[in-house]
Amino acid sequence: MAATNELTNQMLALARLSPGDKVLDIGCGTGKAACRMAADFGAEVTGLSPSAQCVADATAKAKELSQQHLMQFQIGDGMAPDFPDNSFDCTWVMEPSHLMTDKSAMLKECARVLKPGGRLVLRDIMLDHPMSLQDAITYRDEFLLLKDVYGRGDLEPLTFYEEHCKANGLRVEHCRNITSETLRTFDCWRKNALAHKATVCDLIGEEAWQQFLDSCDVLQKFWLDKVLGYGIISACKPA
């Protein structure tokens, strides 16, 4: 939780939000980040998610915090958001991009809906470097395990995001590999899974619980071996 909050703080610093700024939160999840943006900065947030459950949870969270006047959540596709050009002061992308099949379309749309002077901020799991066919063969079993646990991912390196931001007319202001800073995540996940084994096994079964533990080992290995990693980037649309 502390690590997640710190990463969110880094994104907020890069977003430079002001009261009344309009934010498009792509892949809004349960609305936690949107609530931070509304409560701490007075931003007006539109959250998109392909999940009806996430939209319902985020809407309930906003209502619980009496911030529903600043936030709205709706089902939508981050690769094809249905908003006019120059609609938002910030496009916020916190960890959905690795699940998107067309990240180039998502980045193009982020640039399109930004107002001149607006900012894109994004963080996510990424490839450490472009993967060769031999790499894919070598790590086949590990990637299949990750797919079973987390769903199908489609990863690109940080350079991909940087290049596509520039290709869509954005000026990259911050681009940083933060793999080493996020390595401890997997020890925390493993510790929590062990501490709450009985509860988790009741919910998903012991086999799935064990797969999650194994996935923590795989991810930690990938971080250390520089197969996968984590990056954060911000870019501005010239005024």
Q: What is the pLDDT of residues 97-112, one digit of tens each?
A: 999 999 999 999 999 9
Q: What is the pLDDT of residues 177-191, one digit of tens each?
A: 999 999 999 999 999
List C-alpha distances in Å: 114 to 20, 91, 168, 207, 219: 15, 7, 11, 45, 34
Interval 19-26 mean pLDDT: 98
Residue 157 forms beta bridges with which residues?
A: 127
Above 70 in pLDDT, residue 1? no
Query: Residue 228 belongs to what H/E stretch?
Result: strand 228-236
In CATH terms, the superfamily for domain 2-128+152-181+227-236 is Vaccinia Virus protein VP39 (3.40.50.150)
Q: What is the pLDDT of residues 115-129, one digit of tens each?
A: 999 999 999 999 999
Of residues 64, 95, 109, 142, which has the active-site annotation? 95
pTM beyond 0.85:
yes
Of 227 and 3, the one with more pLDDT: 227
Whole-number Å distance between alpha carbons of 224 and 111: 33
pLDDT at 2: 66
pLDDT at 27: 96
Interval 27-37 mean pLDDT: 95
* Residue 42 contacts residue 66 (beta carbons within 8 Å): no
Smallest Cα–Cα separation from 29: which of 9, 8, 4, 55?
Answer: 55
pLDDT at 49: 96
57-66 burial code (b ≥16 CB/10 A, e <16):
bbbebbeeee
**DSSP reduced 3-state for 226:** coil
What spatial distance separates the first Cα and last Cα of the chain, rounded to whole Å? 36
Sheet with 22-26, side-by-side order of all strands: 71-75, 44-49, 22-26, 88-94, 114-127, 228-236, 171-177
pLDDT at 163: 98
* 156 catalytically annotated: no
By the 10 Å C-beta count (0-12 exposed, 13-18 middle, 19+ buried), 51 is classed as middle
